[in-house]
Structure 1
Amino acid sequence: MTYPWGDDRRFNSYAGYFRRLFGGRVQKLSVDAGFTCPNRDGTLGRGGCTFCDNGAFTPSYCRSAKSITQQIDEGIAFHARRYRSAGRYLVYFQSYSNTYAPLERLRALYGEALAHPQVEGIVVGTRPDCIDEEKLDLLAEVARDRYVAVEYGIESTSDETLRAVRRGHDFACARRAVELTARRGLHVGAHFILGLPGESDEMLLRQVGTINSLPLTTVKFHQLQLFRGTALAAEYDADPTRFRFWTPGQYIDLFVEVLRRLRPDLVVERFAGEAPPRYHYGPGWGLVRNETLWTMLEKRLEELDAYQGEIFISLQEERAAGDVSAHPSRNP
């Protein structure tokens, strides 16, 4: 069967998206450009969000003391050892808030990345409250002839949850940033954490409807992970009953239901997180690799004969026929 995104995988995969866009494989390379965050430097707060430890997901070659060019070269070598060579790369400005600087510094850093002969474009990770019209205009200027995506850490659509994790902005701020970015024709990504304290499975499934309402290109999800030394780890020590942790199988079953409700044109870049064991604190999944989890997810989708967007598509058809009220419980 061929699904709405044009291939036979049961979800709209990031690899498929790049094949359609670039005609082949493209690899993301993370770099650390030395940015900080308003939730760390005292503008909004200090210490960052309660769950955050950037070191847990930053590759070993990423060091802000190195130039962008050096990090790109070392990243290409790193990926050549671990994977087959891609030949073409996107530079992922990943660490902290990568629009949190004066315009001219951003222009210089993005320009250095784009000057590399093997780089096709850039992906800029940032916070919704670290963007403005001038910065978006700069990115739109770059995007006239290069690939540019802006990836926002949104984490949750619940304002109560955002306050609890000391995020420093509300969901309305995230919606505004996504809409302003999409309006300029830029690719827009968003990141969400599943399982933050106080959020039930029912809440997470209802949240999908809100995610569907955003003009996003790509989405990343991952399960809640506790990292040593974070405020969230201290909260776990103080009251572990506020936390819940799925087994890999339970999480995959939940994510199947997320996928069934997710807009079919949304590209799923990631559905689970992986970090070095030395960072983990409290319950975890051990050494289960992301590749194994993807295989488990695809097997479960096949067992259930489920696919991304099937509930969303059904609801759209019912709305078109005027009888959606016949299935109120299925509203995603």
Structure 2
Amino acid sequence: MRADAHSNRNFPWGHQRRYNDFPTFFRRKFNERVQKISIDAGFTCPNRDGNRGTRGCTYCNNKTFKPTYCNLENSVSSQLEKGVAFFRKKYDSIKFLAYFQAYSNTYAPIEDLRKLYEEALAYPGVIGLVIATRPDCLDNEVLDYLQALSEKHYVMVELGIESVHNDTLKAINRGHAWEESVRALEETSKRGIHNCAHMILGLPGESRDNLLQQADIISRLPVENLKLHQLQIHKGTVMAKQYADTPEMFHLFSVDEYQELVVDYLERLNPEIIVERFVSSAPPEMLIAPRWGLKNFEFVAKVEKRLEERNTWQGRLFQKL
């Protein structure tokens, strides 16, 4: 397919944006605005409670992505109430997804999961769940339950995969192997559970070639949605100490360098994969480096501009096996 800056032809995902973007997909799917409401339901992580480790991942500080209304003293319904009230001030007509975000949100007895998820689904205006978890926290009992929920509601499992290389996963103390990520993607897909792969670009020891190889590998797995973000060094993490002691371990991207990497990554990415995010923005008071000073939408605009300048698009270099 030929595309240029003046083309009126649609790309394989059915519109003129040069990548298969998540907001457009969601608007088409639901025919209205749908907003995630973050929830902290008090979960922990097998990499913190001793099951697989106690120190957690070297980069992890959950405070970097938890809204102020998420509080363990508040019930699921109470947190949803605050989140819904916040967004209803902005939008008249809107539906919601309950986003179980902090730590590993399938890491609990099935009875506890049923209570929490079903409390969320019972809240007025909530039409589904987004459940952030680890690939090693999806046993068959949990998968069976999520499959049953998926027959009545929108359910997405967001999997913290981070890297396709076992050496990297070991170095960042991730506590699971790449093979477990493959299983989680395959099991959610075949059961009709929406999935999202979460990947970090720029982890220590991974070259640019490694990251482009990652795009090739992810493209040949049953990944429905993809979240990318640049490596950030957050205060209060093992990685923050590593960065202070041995900064030569790290290559932190400039904005322009990361923008170019994202475009190259997109070119190799399966056009059927829906791209939800390119970057992550931690609160400034918690961020050590890199300090770009860009909002997410500003980076998206830069990527779209560069795609047009290079007359390229998601999947241009993708080849099915």
The answer to which of 44-53 and 18-27 deviates more is 18-27
Aligned to 1:128: 135
**TM-score of the two chains, using structure 1 as the length reference:** 0.92
Quick check: 1:26–1:86 contact (8 Å CA) kept in 2? no
Identity within the alignment, %: 48
Q: 1:76 aligns with which of 80, 84, 92?
A: 84
Aligned to 1:195: 202
Tell me if 1:61 matches 2:64: no
Count of aligned pairs: 313
Tell me if 1:237 matches 2:244: yes
Deviation sequence 1:285-309 (CA, Å, 0-9, x none): 1x21111111111111111111111
The one-letter amino acid of 1:28's match is: K
Aligned to 2:49: 41
Root mean square deviation, CA, Å: 1.2
Structure 1 spans left out of the alignment, 5+ residues:
320-332
Quick check: 1:27–1:86 contact (8 Å CA) kept in 2? no
Following the alignment from structure 2 to structure 1, what is the Cα–Cα distance between the partners of residues 250 and 87? 36
The 5 A counterparts of 1:1-332 are: 1-81=9-89, 83-84=90-91, 87-285=94-292, 287-312=293-318, 315-316=319-320
Q: Report how far residue 85 of structure 1 moved.
A: 5.0
Following the alignment from structure 1 to structure 2, what is the Cα–Cα distance between the partners of residues 95 and 12? 27
The one-letter amino acid of 2:25's match is: Y
**TM-score of the two chains, using structure 2 as the length reference:** 0.95
For residue 253 of structure 2, give the secondary structure of its aligned residue in structure 1.
coil
- Deviating 4+ runs (over 4 angstroms): none
Q: Report how far residue 214 of structure 1 moved.
A: 1.4
For residue 288 of structure 2, give the secondary structure of its aligned residue in structure 1.
coil
Deviation sequence 1:214-257 (CA, Å, 0-9, x none): 11110000000000110011111111011111111111111000
Q: Report how far residue 20 of structure 1 moved.
A: 2.3
Deviation sequence 1:158-217 (CA, Å, 0-9, x none): 000000000001100110111111111111111000000011111100111110121111
The one-letter amino acid of 2:72's match is: S
Q: 1:86 to 1:62 in 2, by over 3 A?
A: farther
Following the alignment from structure 1 to structure 2, what is the Cα–Cα distance between the partners of residues 259 and 76? 34
Aligned to 2:3: none
Following the alignment from structure 1 to structure 2, what is the Cα–Cα distance between the partners of residues 309 and 236? 35
The one-letter amino acid of 1:306's match is: T
